[in-house]
């Protein structure tokens, strides 16, 4: 067990019949970090999260949450974990105020004032039945519930799915504030790459149940670059098609103006050596957004874990 | 407890519309008497019946509605995760949902029920036939319904392969329960309240275990939850079914050695077989009966019935059993004693008598005034003829494989002065010739010659009744009077001639009994006691033996040896206490014996006279109530059954 890991999986595998949803995934989320697990629909993100929450038993492998087995110690662990599910799951007939009252009886450190303040800040009517709230209001209510228990760990399963930009912004702002105030560990799965880019300090990319990549965001962004260049035929040149090998491209596209690639092993030295090669003209490298990086990686599916 | 209450209250709050609907429904019983078609005198009844129907409807409907939604719907809508994202142990989630759901349903029932009950002045009951315990049982039916709805909704909504397992096991369990129940009823064991409670208990335990496993092991995973539910549910149910099957097996067929309060009766002329019937502890009020081979130790389980006879060679038995569920039909069983196989022939009514040929190949049965001879084991009809004496019951007896002698036994059931006024007609003795299928009249047996007893002020209107006891070879019968007639006659069955007679007005009236060698014992009661007269087969008096007083009743047992006869004498007028004696007919000595030997019943439709000293003549119940078999050489008693009173 890792004393510094808030969440950890070790060769975690989830099968549904013959379908492998999560395939021997090992992840470490250090305490105080924000880990974003990215992946397309059906990549296995929610299955992995459900195992971490102790809602579902893994087929194989193991997982830990705050140093404990979530399947065996779920009830106790949930005192320290805030959860925002993919689909709002609060009882539809209960109002946000009633939900707060209900949860207040279950958590030892329930922050009722903070809960009410957040609802007010989000503009969620406290006396309207949960089922009648807008999707954004539901998401924000669930986030308020998750944060009001003063959790050590927040587990968010695609929490901004279907939210409008304002609600999404408010959602992430609240998480940022929580991070600033309490240093809560966050484990989230999301498709909202722009939103998560500003808060995630670690990123994992899951594809078809396999973890393709898992590292710190900055390190990731520093080793991934968009590389553009023109390739000319010169006498004696023999490395056509392999000139990018040292940069370990995950995607190469031939455009009318030249070649565009995404390098996964970028460094200044390597790029200089590449740019100085015979026949390489107008080579330039540009940083990638998390979304571009995700598209390149999730589209190719190579195992890029470092 | 705080968390449990939080979950339970949330369930109630979520479905508070059920209570609102119940409150609205509670008004309806008070409006029904206002309908023009309801007379004012019936207002209270109309109100109570309406409330009863509504309370039951709310109980059943609410249980199904709430039970199906309490977990199944949340699981299908992926909202059960709300509870599992909280610090709530699975048992608390389960218990809270169960407690809240059930409390809501029962509360709704009470909301409907109580106002009408109180207003009708019948609190805590409601309608006359539905007093408080009956109403409570009716209202509590909502509990199993609630759990069944919970289990079914999870199973259906999960759409997992376990659904197939559920259906297969449900069908198999239903079939097993049906077969077990049918076996119980076929063998005359009606399950008592404790058995019914045990079944309900197992069902509730299985449903509770299933729902708990579904929540605890499945959590938010519907398929896994369904699997856990099915495993737990069927484990408990199948274990219960196995225990139930074992109980049914032990109840129906406990084995001769486990019987309590057992009674025995000779079966057939051979002397080796006896019918032994008794009860077993924990088996309710039913009894189990066996055909027991006292020489070989084999036993064959019998269905509840009457008249059992075994062929002289011991190859086959015939038994009249109560067939169908609750004995609604009558069936004739022919049992192959070598293999235990039985073939069954349905009968239209209880037969008056049956008999087997010595080789067990033919069966004669008299039922509904018809005598039939059947081939065994095919039950092929060889001959059938009506016995021309509708008011009398007849017992058949093979004189050879082709001749059946039919001697009257008694007036048929229901034949009395009210139905057939006038004097009782004298019956005839008959013979049926199987080959020619003819019925031949032998003689008229005059019952009208028996004297009438002086009118007894204690028993006014007592009718004349008669009984015939056939001899071992059916050549003679003993006729004796019952009811308002008295006296006994030894008659020649082929001529109707009176060979001997005893007339005595003192109670219990003269009786008679045949010895296996054809000699006859006639009793002659007098105000001071009773004398037994030993007669030769042709009616000549051989000896007279005075029996010790008091003698308020007389019973005959077996012949444990040559010239030895067991005789029982009632010691009180109520005939509750009997003393048994061994009468040495050669010397005239009378010796008290311990225990109670099997008594011989003149009304048996398959009366037989086993040879003196044969195993059945050595049976008796000892002082502890055990059926014992005495060794003729040592006199030692070997217990065949348990002692004690009939088990419950």
| Complex prediction ipTM | 0.87
> Which of A55, A78, A90 lies at the smallest CB-CB distance from B220?
A55
Question: CA B443 → CA A77, B449, B478, B495, distances in Å?
Answer: 100, 15, 14, 5
Query: What is the spatial distance between Cα B23 and Cα B532, in angstroms, rounded to a whole number?
Result: 81
Query: How does the average pLDDT of chain A come out, rounded?
Result: 88
- Please give the pLDDT value at position B444: 94
CB contacts of B218 in chain A (<8 Å) are none
Question: CA A244 → CA A255, A266, A284, A297, B136, distances in Å?
Answer: 16, 10, 13, 17, 83
Phi-psi region of B350 (alpha: psi -120 to 50; beta: other; left: phi over 0): beta
- Please give the pLDDT value at position B309: 92
Residue B403 makes CB contacts below 8 A (sequence gap 6+) with B431, B432, B433, B434
CATH superfamily of A5-218: P-loop containing nucleotide triphosphate hydrolases (3.40.50.300)
User: Residue B117 in 3-state DSSP?
Assistant: helix
Report the Cα B73 to chain-centroid distance in Å. Answer: 48
**Pair B386, B439: CB distance under 8 Å:** yes
Extract the tokens encoding B67: 């039970």
The answer to whether the Cβ–Cβ distance between A56 and B79 falls below 8 Å is: no
Burial of B6 (0-12, 13-18, 19+ CB in 10 A): buried
The answer to whether the Cβ–Cβ distance between A56 and B220 falls below 8 Å is: yes
Tokens 């498709």 label which residue? A191
What value does the mean pLDDT take over residues B177-194? 87
CB contacts of A56 in chain B (<8 Å) are 219-221, 224
Query: What is the spatial distance between Cα B95 and Cα B149, in angstroms, rounded to a whole number?
Result: 16
Query: What is the spatial distance between Cα A227 and Cα A286, in angstroms, rounded to a whole number?
Result: 7
Task: Please give, rounded to a whole number of angstroms, the shortest distance from the CA of B54 to a CA of chain A.
Answer: 27
The answer to whether the Cβ–Cβ distance between B87 and A91 falls below 8 Å is: no
CB contacts of B3 in chain A (<8 Å) are 105-106
Task: Please give, rounded to a whole number of angstroms, the shortest distance from the CA of B89 to a CA of chain A.
Answer: 5
**Pair A288, A226: CB distance under 8 Å:** yes
What is the per-residue pLDDT across B117-132, written as a single tens digit (0 to 9) for each?
788 777 776 666 667 7
Of A97-106, A206-215, B69-78, B592-601, the least confident: B592-601
Rounded to a whole number of angstroms, the distance between the first and last alpha carbons of chain A is: 21
What value does the mean pLDDT take over residues B175-188? 90
pLDDT band at residue B575 under the 50/70/90 scheme: confident
Burial of B476 (0-12, 13-18, 19+ CB in 10 A): buried
pLDDT band at residue B374 under the 50/70/90 scheme: very high
- Please give the pLDDT value at position B582: 94
Compare all CA atoms of chain A with the CA of B78 and give the residue at the minimum distance: A89
For chain A, which residues make up each domain, given as ranges? Answer: 5-218, 225-287
Residue B411 makes CB contacts below 8 A (sequence gap 6+) with B391, B392, B393, B424, B465, B466
**H or E stretch at B6:** helix B2-14
CB contacts of B14 in chain A (<8 Å) are 91, 93-94
Question: CA A235 → CA A232, A239, A273, B517, distances in Å?
Answer: 10, 12, 19, 137
Rounded to a whole number of angstroms, the distance between the first and last alpha carbons of chain B is: 43
Residue B198 makes CB contacts below 8 A (sequence gap 6+) with B244
DSSP B258: G
What value does the mean pLDDT take over residues B43-51? 82
By a Cβ cutoff of 8 Å, what residues of chain A touch chain B? Answer: 16, 50, 53-57, 74-79, 81, 83, 85, 87, 89-91, 93-94, 98, 102-103, 105-107
CB contacts of A83 in chain B (<8 Å) are 81, 85
More confident position, A256 or B421: A256
Query: What is the spatial distance between Cα B534 and Cα B432, in angstroms, rounded to a whole number?
Result: 32
Q: Are strands A81-84 and A153-157 parallel, antiparallel or unpaired?
A: parallel
Query: What is the spatial distance between Cα B569 and Cα B69, in angstroms, rounded to a whole number?
Result: 72
Burial of B338 (0-12, 13-18, 19+ CB in 10 A): exposed
HSE, side-chain direction, 13 A CA sphere, residue A61: 21
Nearest to A48 by CA among A14, A71, A72, A15: A14
What is the per-residue pLDDT across A201-239, written as a single tens digit (0 to 9) for each?
899 999 999 998 898 988 888 889 999 988 877 666 666
pLDDT band at residue B366 under the 50/70/90 scheme: very high
Question: CA torsion sign, B57 to B61 to B62 to B67?
Answer: positive
**Pair A165, A171: CB distance under 8 Å:** no
Query: What is the spatial distance between Cα A285 and Cα A300, in angstroms, rounded to a whole number?
Result: 20
User: Which CATH class name applies to A225-287?
Assistant: alpha beta
Omega of the bond prior to B378 within 30 degrees of 0, cis?
no
Residue A248 predicted with pLDDT over 50: yes
**Pair B334, B343: CB distance under 8 Å:** yes
> Which of A78, A87, A98 lies at the smallest CB-CB distance from B78?
A87
The answer to whether the Cβ–Cβ distance between A57 and B224 falls below 8 Å is: yes
φ/ψ (deg, to 5) at A273: -65, -40
HSE, side-chain direction, 13 A CA sphere, residue B603: 9
Query: What is the spatial distance between Cα B85 and Cα B505, in angstroms, rounded to a whole number?
Result: 94
Residue B604 predicted with pLDDT over 80: no
Query: What is the spatial distance between Cα B478 and Cα B476, in angstroms, rounded to a whole number?
Result: 7
Q: Torsion angle, CA of B252/B257/B261/B264, rounded to 10 degrees? A: 90
Task: Please give, rounded to a whole number of angstroms, the shortest distance from the CA of B34 to a CA of chain A.
Answer: 38
Compare all CA atoms of chain A with the CA of B11 and give the residue at the minimum distance: A91
- Please give the pLDDT value at position B647: 44
> Which of A75, A89, A107 lies at the smallest CB-CB distance from B81?
A89
Task: Please give, rounded to a whole number of angstroms, the shortest distance from the CA of A1 to a CA of chain B.
Answer: 23
- Please give the pLDDT value at position A1: 45
Omega of the bond prior to A244 within 30 degrees of 0, cis?
no
> Which of A55, A75, A89 lies at the smallest CB-CB distance from B88?
A75
What is the per-residue pLDDT across B525-539, written as a single tens digit (0 to 9) for each?
988 889 999 999 999
The answer to whether the Cβ–Cβ distance between B220 and A57 falls below 8 Å is: no
CB contacts of B92 in chain A (<8 Å) are 75
More confident position, A243 or B252: B252
**Pair B253, B286: CB distance under 8 Å:** no
> Percent helix, strand and coil across chain B, each rounded to 5?
35, 30, 35
Residue B293 makes CB contacts below 8 A (sequence gap 6+) with B272, B273, B299, B314, B337
What is the per-residue pLDDT across A5-58, written as a single tens digit (0 to 9) for each?
899 999 999 998 889 999 999 999 999 999 999 988 889 999 999 999 999 999
The answer to whether the Cβ–Cβ distance between A93 and B13 falls below 8 Å is: yes
> Which of B85, B86, B219 lies at the smallest CB-CB distance from A56?
B219
Quick count: other Cβ atoms within 10 Å of Cβ B76?
17
Question: CA B147 → CA B99, B137, B206, B208, distances in Å?
Answer: 11, 16, 10, 7
**Pair B155, B234: CB distance under 8 Å:** no
CB contacts of B217 in chain A (<8 Å) are 57
Phi-psi region of B635 (alpha: psi -120 to 50; beta: other; left: phi over 0): left
Query: What is the spatial distance between Cα A299 and Cα B110, in angstroms, rounded to a whole number?
Result: 63
pLDDT band at residue B648 under the 50/70/90 scheme: very low
- Please give the pLDDT value at position B128: 66
The answer to whether the Cβ–Cβ distance between B3 and A105 falls below 8 Å is: yes
Tokens 């099968």 label which residue? A15
CB contacts of B89 in chain A (<8 Å) are 75
Q: What is the DSSP string of chain A?
A: --TTEEEEEEEEEEEETTEEEEEEEEEEEETT-EEEEEE-TTSSHHHHHHHHHTSS--SEEEEEETTB-TTTSHHHHTTSEEEE-SS--S-TTS-HHHHHHHHHTT-TT--HHHHHHHHHHHT--TTS-GGGS-HHHHHHHHHHHHHHT--SEEEEESTTTT--HHHHHHHHHHHHHHHHHH--EEEEEES-HHHHHTT-SEEEEEETTEEEEEEEHHHHHHH-EEEEEEE---TT---TTTTTGGG-EEEEEE-SSSEEEEESS--HHHHHHHHTSTTEEEEEEEE--HHHHHHHHHHH------
- Please give the pLDDT value at position B214: 95
Task: Please give, rounded to a whole number of angstroms, the shortest distance from the CA of A101 to a CA of chain B.
Answer: 10
What is the per-residue pLDDT across B206-265, written as a single tens digit (0 to 9) for each?
999 999 999 999 998 888 999 999 999 999 999 999 999 999 998 899 999 999 989 998
Residue B325 predicted with pLDDT over 70: no
- Please give the pLDDT value at position A247: 85
Task: Please give, rounded to a whole number of angstroms, the shortest distance from the CA of B75 to a CA of chain A.
Answer: 10
> Which of B2, B78, B223 lies at the smallest CB-CB distance from A105?
B2
Query: What is the spatial distance between Cα A209 and Cα A25, in angstroms, rounded to a whole number?
Result: 8
Compare all CA atoms of chain B with the CA of A59 and give the residue at the minimum distance: B224
Query: What is the spatial distance between Cα B485 and Cα B16, in angstroms, rounded to a whole number?
Result: 78
DSSP B112: H
- Please give the pLDDT value at position B245: 95
The answer to whether the Cβ–Cβ distance between A53 and B84 falls below 8 Å is: yes
Q: What's the angle, vertex CA B59, arms to CA B58 and CA B61, rounded to 5?
A: 60
What is the per-residue pLDDT across A252-273, written as a single tens digit (0 to 9) for each?
888 888 888 999 889 989 999 8
Of B221-225, B365-369, B422-426, the least confident: B422-426
Ordered by where they begin, the domains of chain B are 1-157 (no CATH), 159-252 (no CATH), 459-604 (2.130.10.10)
The answer to whether the Cβ–Cβ distance between B86 and A78 falls below 8 Å is: yes
Extract the tokens encoding B68: 């199906």
What value does the mean pLDDT take over residues A180-189? 86
What is the per-residue pLDDT across A97-142, written as a single tens digit (0 to 9) for each?
999 999 999 998 899 999 999 999 999 999 999 999 998 899 999 9
pLDDT band at residue B326 under the 50/70/90 scheme: low
């Amino acid at each position: 067990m890792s004393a510094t890991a808030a969440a950890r999986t070790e060769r975690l595998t989830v099968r549904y019949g013959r379908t492998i949803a999560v395939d021997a995934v090992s992840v470490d989320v250090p305490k105080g970090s924000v880990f974003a697990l990215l992946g397309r629909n059906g990549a296995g993100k929610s299955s992995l999260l459900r195992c971490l929450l102790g809602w579902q038993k893994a087929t194989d492998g193991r997982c830990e949450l705050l140093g404990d087995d979530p399947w065996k110690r779920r009830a106790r662990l949930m005192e320290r974990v805030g959860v925002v599910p993919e689909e709002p799951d609060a009882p539809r007939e209960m109002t946000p105020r009633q939900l707060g009252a209900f949860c207040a009886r279950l958590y030892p450190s329930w922050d009722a004032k903070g809960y009410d303040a957040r609802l007010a800040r989000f503009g969620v009517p406290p006396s309207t039945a949960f089922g009648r709230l807008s999707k954004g209001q539901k998401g924000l209510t669930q986030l308020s519930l998750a944060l009001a228990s003063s959790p050590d760990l927040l587990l968010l399963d695609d929490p901004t799915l279907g939210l409008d930009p304002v609600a999404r912004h408010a959602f992430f702002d609240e998480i940022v504030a929580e991070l600033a105030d309490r240093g809560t560990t966050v484990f989230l799965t999301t498709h909202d790459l722009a939103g998560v880019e500003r808060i995630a300090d670690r990123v994992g990319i899951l594809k078809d149940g396999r973890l393709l990549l898992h590292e710190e965001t900055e390190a990731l962004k520093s080793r991934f670059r968009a590389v553009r260049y023109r390739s000319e035929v010169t006498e004696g040149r023999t490395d056509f098609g392999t000139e990018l090998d040292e940069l370990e491209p995950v995607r190469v596209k031939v455009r009318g103006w030249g070649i565009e690639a995404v390098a996964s092993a970028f460094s200044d030295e390597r790029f200089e050596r590449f740019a100085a090669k015979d026949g390489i003209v107008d080579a330039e490298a540009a940083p990638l957004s998390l979304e571009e990086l995700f598209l390149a990686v999730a589209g190719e599916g190579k195992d890029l874990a470092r | 407890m705080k968390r449990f209450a939080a979950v339970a209250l949330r369930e109630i709050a979520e479905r508070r519309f059920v209570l609102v609907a119940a409150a609205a429904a509670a008004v309806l019983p008070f409006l029904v008497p206002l309908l023009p078609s309801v007379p004012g005198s019936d207002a209270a009844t109309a109100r109570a019946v309406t409330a009863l129907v509504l309370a039951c409807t709310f109980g059943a409907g609410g249980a199904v509605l709430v039970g199906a939604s309490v977990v199944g719907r949340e699981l299908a809508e992926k909202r059960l995760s709300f509870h599992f994202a909280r610090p709530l142990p699975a048992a608390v989630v389960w218990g809270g949902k169960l407690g809240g759901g059930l409390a809501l349903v029962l509360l709704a029932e009470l909301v409907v029920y109580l106002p009408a009950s109180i207003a009708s002045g019948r609190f805590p009951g409601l309608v006359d036939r539905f007093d408080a315990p009956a109403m409570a049982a009716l209202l509590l039916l909502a509990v199993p319904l609630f759990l069944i709805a919970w289990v079914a909704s999870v199973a259906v909504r999960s759409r997992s392969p376990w659904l197939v397992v559920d259906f297969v096991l449900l069908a198999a369990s239903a079939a097993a329960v049906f077969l077990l129940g049918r076996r119980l009823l076929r063998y005359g064991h009606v399950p008592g309240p404790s058995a019914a409670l045990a079944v309900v208990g197992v069902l509730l335990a299985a449903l509770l275990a299933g729902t708990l496993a579904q929540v605890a092991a499945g959590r938010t995973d519907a398929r896994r939850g369904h699997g856990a539910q099915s495993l737990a549910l069927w484990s408990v149910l199948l274990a219960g079914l196995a225990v139930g099957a074992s109980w049914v097996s032990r109840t129906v067929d406990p084995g001769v050695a486990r019987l309590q309060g057992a009674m025995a009766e000779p079966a057939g002329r051979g002397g080796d077989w006896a019918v032994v019937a008794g009860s077993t502890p924990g088996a309710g009020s039913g009894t189990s009966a066996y055909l027991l081979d006292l020489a070989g130790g084999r036993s064959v389980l019998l269905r509840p019935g009457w008249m059992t006879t075994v062929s002289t060679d011991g190859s086959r038995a015939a038994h009249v059993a109560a067939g169908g569920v609750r004995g609604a039909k009558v069936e004739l069983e022919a049992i192959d004693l070598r293999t235990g196989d039985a073939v069954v022939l349905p009968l239209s009514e209880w037969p008056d008598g049956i008999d087997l040929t010595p080789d067990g190949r033919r069966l004669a049965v008299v039922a509904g005034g018809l005598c039939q001879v059947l081939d065994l084991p095919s039950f092929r009809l060889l001959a059938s003829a009506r016995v021309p004496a509708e008011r009398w019951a007849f017992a058949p007896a093979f004189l050879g494989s082709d001749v059946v002698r039919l001697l009257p036994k008694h007036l048929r059931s229901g034949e009395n002065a009210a139905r057939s006024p006038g004097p009782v007609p004298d019956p005839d003795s008959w013979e049926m010739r199987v080959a020619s299928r003819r019925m031949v009249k032998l003689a008229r047996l005059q019952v009208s010659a028996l004297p009438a007893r002086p009118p007894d002020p204690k028993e006014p209107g007592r009718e004349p009744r008669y009984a015939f006891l056939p001899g071992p070879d059916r050549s003679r019968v003993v006729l004796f009077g019952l009811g308002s007639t008295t006296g006994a006659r030894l008659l020649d069955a082929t001529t109707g001639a009176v060979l001997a007679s005893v007339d005595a007005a003192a109670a219990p009236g003269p009786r008679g009994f045949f010895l296996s060698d054809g000699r006859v014992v006639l009793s002659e009661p007098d105000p001071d006691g009773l004398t037994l007269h030993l007669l030769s087969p042709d009616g000549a008096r051989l000896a007279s033996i005075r029996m010790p007083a008091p003698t308020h009743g007389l019973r005959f047992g077996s012949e444990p040896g040559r010239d030895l006869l067991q005789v029982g004498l009632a010691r009180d007028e109520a005939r509750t206490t009997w003393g048994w004696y061994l009468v040495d007919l050669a010397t005239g000595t009378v010796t008290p014996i311990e225990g109670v030997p099997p008594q011989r019943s003149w009304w048996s439709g398959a009366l037989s006279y086993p040879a003196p000293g044969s195993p059945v003549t050595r049976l008796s119940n000892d002082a502890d109530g055990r059926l014992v078999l005495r060794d003729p050489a040592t006199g030692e008693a070997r217990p065949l059954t348990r002692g004690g009173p009939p088990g419950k």
